A and B are shown apart, each in its own frame.
Chain A
């Protein structure tokens, strides 16, 4: 199957700092998604991207669909303790087809 590489694998940051993470694929995707998983819970969709170059925000979160269509980026500004969790990217090559998930970035925010 498709391989999505997320980096970094884990991050430990101070409250108030900005966070950046990215996801790369070996194939061109036409949809990118970013999910957050709280401990012991299911992933929750944060942001969906449908067009190359698209920049979409959801509160303090901003995600971008890479121009090459093989990557996507997620930024979190002014992190707070409740941002703790695992962030997953997901992408698909065609509408209605299976989404492939990245390996996840574990975020720890130190108060």
Chain B
């Protein structure tokens, strides 16, 4: 157990729908990062939050949004889903970033 909790583990939904992925960071970590990994692809950085505020943005589509709440958990919202959004979505957390990120086990999203 890495200490980073992601729910749900699996999600199957239809095109056009909206889903919310949840992440609880490791205790004490203020930063949360979201990554997308499509089949046989690398990790695509989506967005970072630090202590409730957006810190950095990567290749995140306008249909996607995220937020970090006062208790530091984060949610990634994916709307108007398309088949191409099917992927593994990882959340990672860190303290000051010196020691890298700790990843959760991911949410596998399948859009049918």
Which residues does A use to contact B, with CB under 8 Å?
1, 31, 33, 35, 40-45, 48, 88, 90, 92, 95-104, 106
Contacts and interface: CB of A to CB of B under 8 A. Distances in A.
A104 to B, nearest CB: 5
A99 B101 contact: yes
B105 A42 contact: yes
Contacts, number: 62
Given A90-B100, A95-B98, A43 B45 contact: no
B103 to A, nearest CB: 3
A33 B100 contact: yes
Interface residues of B, number: 27
Contact of A88 (B43, B96, B99): B43
Given A101-B43, A102-B42, A41 B105 contact: yes
Interface residues of B, dominant DSSP: loop
Contacts of B101: 45, 90, 99
Nearest to B6: A42
Contacts of A33: 100
Contact of B58 (A1, A31, A104): A1
A48 B56 contact: no
Nearest to A47: B100
B108 to A, nearest CB: 8
Nearest to A106: B40
Nearest to A100: B45
B25 interface: no
A43 B106 CA distance: 10
B48 interface: yes
